[in-house]
């Protein structure tokens, strides 16, 4: 696994137990943005996409209708379970079992040296795990590949889960390489296209794109924190078992 596991990019720091839950900001136009925390800076309100101060979206105070704390959801399914030998198949409603989805994500994670929780967060934001999802713009499958992007990545059928995840992971890998492992810019390009990122010299001023980045990073943070909590508990159990007198 290459060094870009993105824990530092999303500013999880030392993964201290005091990390705050996320926040959901509702704008006066009804649009919602999930962020880690917010703060007033000069005449703007900054919506921080992670625990650090580097990645944020700015809004005018009068644009904000309310801010609510979002409690951490239950621990996600273990994506490292022993996968089935059969080829993953989606059900009639396009959903895959957690084991099948985990198999594909782990395979792509190993192939492209991407954090499996990042890929899982992308799938959740793009299709919510629906292998047959189609957007209004024509993006298809689990990782919502546009036909031209799918063709570039050698995907012949975007509705085949394994092909879609491989193609989406390859595309994300290429974007991260292009943007020197800047996760925020890579996500912006994945959603709005590299041309839009180049045009605005950074995150495009599109509400959909800004909300998309916030959703992916918030979900990624949550998954990494849950993963680290599981490891910590396992280590504590191991220490206890090794020292039964404690």
Most confident of 3-12, 68-77, 82-91, 237-246: 237-246
Question: Residue 146: pLDDT band by 50, 70, 90 thresholds?
Answer: very high
Strand partners, 70: 22
Q: For the structural domain made of 1-10+76-246, what CATH number should be given?
A: 1.10.530.10
Q: Which two tokens stand for residue 165?
A: 């995840």
Say if residues 99 and 83 touch (Cβ distance below 8 Å).
yes
Q: Residue 241 and residue 246: Cα distance in Å, rounded?
A: 9
pLDDT, tens digit, 9 for 90 and up, residues 13-36:
333 333 344 788 888 877 778 788
pTM for the whole structure: 0.64
Residue 17, pLDDT score: 32
| Marked catalytic residue, from 23, 126, 163, 219 | 126
Boundaries of every domain in the chain: 1-10+76-246
CA angle 75, 81, 86 (to 5 degrees): 130
Question: Residue 10: pLDDT band by 50, 70, 90 thresholds?
Answer: very low
pLDDT, tens digit, 9 for 90 and up, residues 71-105:
655 554 554 544 444 345 666 567 889 999 999 99
Residue 208 annotated among the catalytic residues of the structure? no
Residue 15, pLDDT score: 31
Under 8 Å CB-to-CB from 66, ≥6 apart: which residues?
Answer: 25, 26
Q: Taking residues 32-47, what's their average pLDDT?
A: 85
Q: Please determine, for residue 235, whether its predicted confidence score (pLDDT) is greater than 60.
A: yes
Name the residue with higher pLDDT: 246 or 161. 161
Residue 14, pLDDT score: 30
pLDDT, tens digit, 9 for 90 and up, residues 184-229:
999 999 999 999 999 999 999 999 999 999 999 999 999 999 988 8
Residue 245, pLDDT score: 57
Residue 56, pLDDT score: 79
CA 232 to chain centre: 23
Q: Exposed/middle/buried for 59, CB within 10 Å: 0-12, 13-18, 19+?
A: middle
């Amino acid at each position: 696994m290459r060094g870009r596991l993105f824990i530092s990019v999303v500013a999880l720091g030392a993964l201290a137990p005091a990390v705050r839950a996320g926040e959901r900001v509702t704008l006066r136009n009804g649009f919602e943005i999930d962020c880690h925390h917010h703060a007033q800076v000069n005449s703007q309100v900054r919506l921080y996409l992670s625990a650090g101060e580097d990645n944020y979206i700015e809004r005018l105070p009068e644009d904000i209708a309310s801010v609510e704390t979002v409690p951490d959801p239950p621990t996600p399914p273990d994506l490292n379970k022993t996968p089935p030998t059969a080829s993953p198949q989606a059900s009639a409603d396009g959903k895959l079992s957690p084991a099948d989805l985990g198999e594909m994500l782990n395979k792509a994670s190993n192939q492209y040296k991407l954090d499996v929780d990042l890929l899982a967060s992308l799938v959740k934001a793009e299709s919510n795990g629906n292998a047959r999802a189609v957007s209004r713009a024509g993006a298809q499958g689990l990782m919502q590949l546009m036909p031209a992007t799918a063709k570039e990545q050698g995907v012949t059928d975007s509705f085949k889960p394994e092909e879609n995840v491989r193609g989406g992971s390859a595309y994300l890998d290429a974007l991260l390489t292009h943007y020197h492992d800047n996760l925020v810019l890579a996500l912006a390009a994945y959603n709005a296209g590299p041309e839009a990122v180049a045009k605005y010299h950074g995150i495009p001023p599109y509400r959909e794109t800004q909300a998309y980045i916030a959703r992916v990073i918030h979900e990624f943070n949550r998954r990494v924190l849950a993963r680290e909590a599981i490891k910590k508990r396992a280590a504590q159990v191991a220490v206890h078992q090794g020292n039964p007198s404690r």
